[in-house]
Amino acid sequence: MAIKAITFDLWDTVLKDESDEPKRQAKGLKTKNEERRQILWEALNKQASTDKSMVDTEFQAQEKFYRERWLRERITPNVADRLTVLLDGLGRELPGQVFDRLVSVYQDMEVEIPPDIFAGAADGLRALAEDYPLGVVSDTIYTPGSGMRTILVGYGVRNCFSSFAFSDEVGRAKPDERIFAHVAEELGVEFHEMVHIGDRELNDVQGAQALGMKAILFTEHRDESRENGTQADAIAKNYDALLSVINALARA
């Protein structure tokens, strides 16, 4: 197989999920979910007296709404959709400017206090970008694709990537073919000429392989292969191993 392009998941592959929480704690801030619930309650309570426990309950309901759509329909609802579901559950509305401010705050939390990039990732991405066009194929949760690009800029790796497919922008989440196809088309390659790297067996490994791509399971932060094994073409436990694995695939 001639490798002509490499794509990366971001969460737990380039950026370490929840690694921003200790930074928030060090600043004396609430966790992200606590802060989201708090500012929503404050906005509602300013309009009319509101039971915070009801806000907390509906917040959990919208989290379930997101997860069900993500897992069953391969769609990741954006923050505005999630807040709309939450407010509908409470039977409440917020003025447009207040609603928009909440959307902005929710979306920017991980931009303002970013998660860590994996050790060796910046240098590894720069080295790979010298030999291959690189793309991002990543699902979004609260931080949209625009915010993810800003985080990558902060770590000096935004320019390593020639194409981006974020679920909130493409309209489909992994392992849907369309999110992978977006990058393949922009990079001008066929699926069988691509290698995808990610941490999730179903979304990143089996999703990519079903389209004819090679797949590498990245296991530094979370290792799904421990319980059920993996169908991945290779496993990389860190970025030093990842570069070696890609070189081996290229030689093969």
What domains can be seen in the chain, in order of their start residue? 5-19+116-251 (3.40.50.1000), 21-112 (no CATH)
Q: Counting Cβ atoms within 10 Å, is residue 205 exposed (0-12), middle (13-18) or buried (19+)?
A: buried
pLDDT over 80 at 224, yes or no: yes
Higher pLDDT, 189 or 223: 189
Provide mean pLDDT across the span 70-75.
95
Q: What is the pLDDT of residues 133-145, one digit of tens each?
A: 999 999 999 999 9
**So what's the pLDDT on residue 227?**
81
Q: Are 249 and 1 in contact (CB under 8 A)?
A: yes
**So what's the pLDDT on residue 26?**
98
User: Tokens in use for 183?
Assistant: 């990058």
Average pLDDT, the chain: 96
pLDDT over 90 at 225, yes or no: no
Q: What is the pLDDT of residues 78-133, one digit of tens each?
A: 999 999 999 999 999 999 999 999 999 999 999 999 999 999 999 999 999 999 99
User: Tokens in use for 204?
Assistant: 């990143």
Q: What is the pLDDT of residues 43-71, one digit of tens each?
A: 999 999 999 999 999 999 999 999 999 99
Any idea how long the chain is? Answer: 252
Q: Counting Cβ atoms within 10 Å, is residue 184 exposed (0-12), middle (13-18) or buried (19+)?
A: buried
User: Tokens in use for 167?
Assistant: 């679920």
**So what's the pLDDT on residue 1?**
60
pLDDT over 90 at 163, yes or no: yes
Q: How far apart are CA 36 and CA 149, in angstroms?
A: 22
Question: Structure pTM?
Answer: 0.95
